[in-house]
A = this chain, B = another copy of it.
Amino acid sequence: MKVGQVIGTVTSTINHPFFDGERLLICDLIDGSDSTGDYLICANRVDAGTGDTVLILDEGTSARQMYDTDTGPIRSVVVGIVDDVHEDRSL
């Protein structure tokens, strides 16, 4: 899993019905407090909003379980809002 920051949203009208009504999040992947320069478009299952630091899971089977379904074309999902990152970079 990765830590990211929600920096925006993507909207799509012509799409697979699975995404109807979904507000997908643009999550900037971060390392410590820095951006890695990479991002993922994630489904939002924990009501995260722009600016939130989030825990991102990028695996299809996991993502489908967040929707309580075995089917559905989905891979990347926000699984938690991060309260605190505690790290010791001196190691």
Q: Which residues of A contact B (CB under 8 A)?
A: 1-3, 5, 7-16, 18-19, 24, 26, 28, 31, 37-42, 45-47, 50-51, 55, 57-63, 65-66, 71-77, 79-89, 91
Contacts and interface: CB of A to CB of B under 8 A. Distances in A.
A65 to B, nearest CB: 5
Chain A interface secondary structure, helix, strand, loop or mixed? strand
Contacts of A74: 1, 57, 62
A67 B40 CA distance: 24
B80 A15 contact: yes
A73 B43 CA distance: 13
Contact of A82 (B10, B37, B51, B83): B10
